[in-house]
Amino acid sequence: MPNNRRQMIRSLAAGGLLLPGMLSELLGEQALGASDPLMPQKSHHAPKAKRVIFLYMTGGVSHIDSFDPKPELNRYHGEKVADPGFCKAADWKFSRYGECGMEVSELFPEIGSLADRIGLIRSMWTDNGDHFGASIAIHTGSSNFNRPSIGSWVSYGLGTESRNLPSFMVISPGLPYGGGQVWGSDFLPVVHQGTRLRPVAEPIPNMRPLASRSLQQTELDMLGYLNRQHLIGRETDPNLSARIRSFETAFGMQNAAPEVFDLSGETEETHALYGLEPGSRDSFAWQCLVARRLAERGVRFIELIDTDSNSGNNWDTHGKMLRYNKLARNVDRPIAALVKDLDRRGMLDDTLVVWTTEFGRNPFAPYKGATGRGHHRHAFSTWMAGGGIRGGMVYGKTDQWGNHVVEDKVTVHDLHATILHQLGMDHTRLTYRHAGRDYRLTDVHGRVVRELIA
């Protein structure tokens, strides 16, 4: 503790402004404090990854226009071959990438260039075909009930490596389907809830302090003392411990966060890699570069949500699939840059990058000449990179139309179990007692997709 702070505390004591017992604790001579809910925790087994960057394309990206080519749809375009409707061909061609020969749509050439580092799942399945339910499910494991987000579970299970930043942070220009529930902590202590950032001048409200740091530190110490005194005899109440930690995190963020969002120190080459104009914030490129900086500073779970704050534009394309051209340009280069940047900095090996959406799009149209696609819960695509994932692999298979999974189905619970496994956690043992029963992210389901693990 700096001498000037010690002198300030002693002067307060001499003036009778500190209650008996406060002085020794504030000087670090007495340990009355409650346990820190964000203290780093031991994993169940040796982890492959220390952190997750979760790239969420809200709106339901069409698998058959992105990562799951279906030549039969092109062949029978406009013909009615099944009861659901008329075949609708993909609007984009597919090419093979990398030594593995992975087929990826021309919408995503930069992501395609990462094929040898990607583990691609073409057999995802979810139980809900509504945006709200499916969005909640891909984040919490449940499409019907409020549950904690996967980021909150990771924070609860592993704690944080950063004392000055939250363990779970979300960059979302607008609100996705499901709103803040997709990063909510629900029955877990609120300290594990995601902290939302927005790509504006002040990404976090009240980020800049209104008083001197020394004065704030003194106020925080006194508040902490009173909080911890109140906690005595109430140690089983997790909300009290979380509230104490929230004040400390807020104080640390005012010191650390402004530096995270100051990209002036990044090189021109790095800006060019991401396709980010210096000073610009209104693109997915800004989100990706900030995500790398948060990862460097110990944030455990970082989610980037692709949704426009003004128009609400996302990947929900019932009317015109050609909107994908603009949507894909916005994310393709920055996502590839993020993976490459992590790799060149030696961080990809212990950072798990996950790209996903809530469901796919229907291969059949209700009438000839339709330019959009409807919701499709029976099949969609997801990919992962880094964090011990086997690159250059395609796992699972859909039928000739991309209508149903026919091989190696992967549920949302399976995806969550695999993510937790790479972080060193057994999804069946990561539990929290609430309302008289033990809950877990994967409920009573889930298997680790070990074929995807290197």
Residue 22 above 50 pLDDT?
A: no
pLDDT for res 384? 98
pLDDT for res 227? 72
**What type of residue sits at position 198?**
R
pLDDT for res 135? 97
pLDDT for res 17? 40
Domain boundaries, the chain: 49-203+270-452, 211-260
pLDDT tens profile 341-364: 999 999 999 999 999 999 999 999
Alpha-carbon gap, residue 252 to 35, rounded angstroms: 18
pLDDT for res 19? 40
Residue 98 above 70 pLDDT?
A: yes
At residue 246 the predicted structure's pLDDT band, cuts being 50, 70 and 90, is low
pLDDT for res 206? 62
At residue 400 the predicted structure's pLDDT band, cuts being 50, 70 and 90, is very high
| Mean pLDDT score across all residues of the chain | 87
CA separation (Å) from 262 to 166, 201, 281, 334?
A: 18, 10, 11, 18
Q: Which CATH class is domain 49-203+270-452?
A: alpha beta
pLDDT tens profile 120-142: 999 999 999 999 999 999 999 99
pLDDT tens profile 214-242: 766 676 677 677 777 777 777 666 666 66
Q: What is the mean pLDDT of residues 3-13?
A: 48
Q: What is the mean pLDDT of residues 201-210?
A: 69
At residue 34 the predicted structure's pLDDT band, cuts being 50, 70 and 90, is very low
5 or 14: whose pLDDT is higher? Answer: 5
